[in-house]
């Protein structure tokens, strides 16, 4: 069976990356992409890298395309909660990449996203879509909230150690991301003379990935944790590294820590536990790398991924595969660039 998939928000970096992955997916037909400004224009004329891979045109609304089996929502915050209810009523499964369904508490959503949540009915049923940690729940879901890119890299690095009980429930996360994580809209911060050849901290204590990191880390700690997350912009296009610093409750060897991570990720297709994680090793792929080192009475763990793939579009396709009962690696089984 071939599933007809649509994307709401087809011209942003994430929507474009979704298109790139889906046009080569063996079980999927890319049936619809929306763009108000490009409605009626061939997708390959706007996204020229798709020439020869799709002949469809952009539509203004997802409802302009009939008989869809699945929809990806790749829009700014606040759009998905207006679109998803109608899709759910039609029995169409969805992955939301925008953040509208990540936080289970509507008050938390209002606090961090600056507006009231208008679809609390589906919010309570949405599954947080990090497959390596919540695979069983994703398999039975109709609506999955794709995690944020920083959140994915940090949670993958933190969860195993926090679950082990070896570390105190406080962690400092030093995150660094490329410029594509900010989206396509130009800004002074992203202007090349401003961001080139420098590292810039930003959105400290206000970044919207903070509450989802808190939410999931609390789950694995079995109680409240104190996560200090400090994001930085670095002058690369794609990629994230989150360096996560812990205090050990008791002495631990490197072998003990290695065993914790190997037990968690040893059988995973897309998360590799390695001695020295590298952004270049994973860029362009759905792979993530995790590493950890014991340092006296402390430990540091690293989560590395491509913010547009495992941090967004690739993870969404991985979630879709699970939701539709497909091979989890379908359409994603290729390595990072390496150079």
- Which residues, in sequence order, are bridge partners of residue 284? none
Quote the CA–CA distance of 313 and 108 in Å, as a whole number.
25
Q: Residue 3's CB: how many other CB atoms inside 10 A?
A: 17
Give yes or no for a contact between 317 and 22, defined as CB atoms under 8 angstroms apart.
yes
Quote the CA–CA distance of 297 and 299 in Å, as a whole number.
7
Quote the CA–CA distance of 136 and 197 in Å, as a whole number.
43
Quote the CA–CA distance of 132 and 105 in Å, as a whole number.
23
Residue 195 annotated to the active site: no
Grouping H, G, I as helix, E, B as strand and the rest as coil, residue 334 is coil
Quote the CA–CA distance of 108 and 140 in Å, as a whole number.
26
* Catalytic position from the list 94, 149, 195, 244: 149
Residues in the chain: 339
- Which residues, in sequence order, are bridge partners of residue 145? 96, 128
Number of helices followed by number of strands (H, E) in the chain: 12, 13
Question: Residues with catalytic annotation?
Answer: 149
């Amino acid at each position: 069976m071939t599933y007809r998939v649509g994307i709401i928000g087809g011209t942003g970096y994430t929507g474009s990356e979704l298109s790139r992955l889906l046009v080569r997916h063996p079980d999927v037909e890319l049936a619809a992409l929306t763009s108000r400004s490009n409605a009626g224009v061939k997708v390959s004329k706007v996204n020229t890298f798709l020439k020869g891979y799709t002949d469809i045109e952009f539509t203004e609304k997802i409802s302009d395309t009939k008989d869809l089996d699945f929809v990806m929502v790749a829009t700014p915050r606040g759009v998905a909660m207006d679109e998803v209810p109608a899709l759910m009523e039609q029995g169409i499964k969805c992955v939301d990449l925008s953040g509208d369904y990540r936080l289970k508490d509507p008050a938390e959503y209002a606090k961090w996203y600056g507006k009231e949540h208008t679809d609390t009915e589906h919010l309570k049923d949405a599954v947080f879509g990090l497959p390596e940690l919540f695979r069983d729940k994703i398999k039975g879901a109709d609506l999955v909230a794709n995690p944020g890119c920083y959140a994915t890299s940090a949670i993958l690095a933190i969860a195993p150690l926090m679950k082990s009980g070896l570390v105190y429930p406080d962690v400092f996360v030093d995150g660094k991301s490329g410029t594509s994580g900010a989206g396509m809209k130009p800004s002074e911060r992203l202007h090349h003379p401003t961001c080139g050849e420098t590292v810039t901290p930003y959105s400290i204590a206000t970044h919207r990935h903070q509450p989802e990191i808190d939410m999931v880390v609390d789950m694995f700690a079995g109680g409240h944790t104190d996560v200090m997350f400090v994001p930085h912009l670095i002058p690369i296009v794609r990629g994230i590294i989150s360096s996560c610093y812990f205090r050990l409750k008791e002495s631990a060897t490197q072998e003990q820590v290695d065993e914790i991570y190997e037990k968690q990720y040893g059988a995973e297709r897309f998360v590799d536990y390695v001695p020295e994680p590298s952004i270049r090793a994973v860029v362009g792929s759905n792979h993530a790398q995790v590493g950890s080192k014991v340092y006296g009475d402390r430990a540091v763990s690293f989560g590395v991924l491509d913010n547009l793939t495992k941090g967004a579009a690739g993870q969404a396709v991985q979630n879709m595969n699970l939701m539709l009962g497909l091979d989890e690696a379908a359409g994603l089984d290729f390595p990072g660039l390496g150079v």
